[in-house]
A and B are shown apart, each in its own frame.
Chain A
Amino acid sequence: MAVYKRTYRGYSGAITPSWSRFLVLFRFSRETLFRSKVQTAFFVLCFFFPLLCLLGIYANAHLSVFSFLGRRSEPLLNINGQFFFTYLTVQSTLSFILAAFIGPGLVSPDLANGALTLYLCRPLSRTEYVLGKMSVLVIVLSWITWVPGLLLFAVQASLSGWQWLADNLWIATGIVWGSFIWILILSLLSLALSAWVKWRIAAGGLLLATFWVGAGFAQAINAVLRTKQGYLLDVGNLVAAIWHGLFRDGVNMGFSVTEAWIALLAFCGFCLLLLMRKVKANEVIR
């Protein structure tokens, strides 16, 4: 009998349930995530604007306090769909930059160091790997988008009463949905880029370029072909169109929300395809 057979005993303790196993990857990444000081500082900075909004909402509700100063008591701010649209625009820009910092470092080092194969040797499927890596971005970006957004909404609701809440519940849905769409797109794109571009930094640059050059080319299409459909190539614009729909502020981007959805789905599908092709190449056939 081989020696190892006599002495080797496999691990038989408790294991993470398979449904939540992908979160193991999040726990791995969490440790390295905030090691960079610049990154941490930037993350903290992302809470500045929500704080400002909170002050605005608060001041708005207690305007009566200031009325003795002789000011007219018309509302300082209109807390409506447009207010939250602005909130989301600012926060999404910040989350875009944050994603450009974090995203590329997720898959590319695994590919460069051959760790992907090691991961997939474990009882961890391709999908779970992608989910796990994506959860890092989703969780971190959630913290600066819809979580404070909902908080703001809750504060406003508590200040304005049940009627306001009942009338404006769609805003809350808009915040959550709007954020999730953006986060999903950012994470898919940055994971796909990070899987194809081994050099971490170049992947970050490419993420920026995808948005900038995409926006520029969209404008070029509009100018040359005398259309507005070019914006369908501009991911930022697509998401903005969907947000306008969600927040019901009646702004028309020149194409319908349905078109925007189709274009976005196609874009996400393409990213997923890119990502899966690269991950699949490293899978160990069991």
Chain B
Amino acid sequence: MLEKIKEILAEELSLDLEEIGDDSDIREDLGADSLDMVQLVMSLEDEFGLEIENEEIQSVTTVRGIVEFIEKKRG
């Protein structure tokens, strides 16, 4: 899961996989802006077959946080 999320982040934010740490802050360290976040949410929805509200993802800050968020969503 963690690796999959990193792949998605690398793809959406045009980063190398090595640049993305487990605890990297998506906005501060990886430089995602609000439009990148929209793009990211869409990719996560497609990949995991989920519906994600824009507001829900706002409290998620790190790469590991995304994993926890997705796991919780899937129940």
A binds B: no
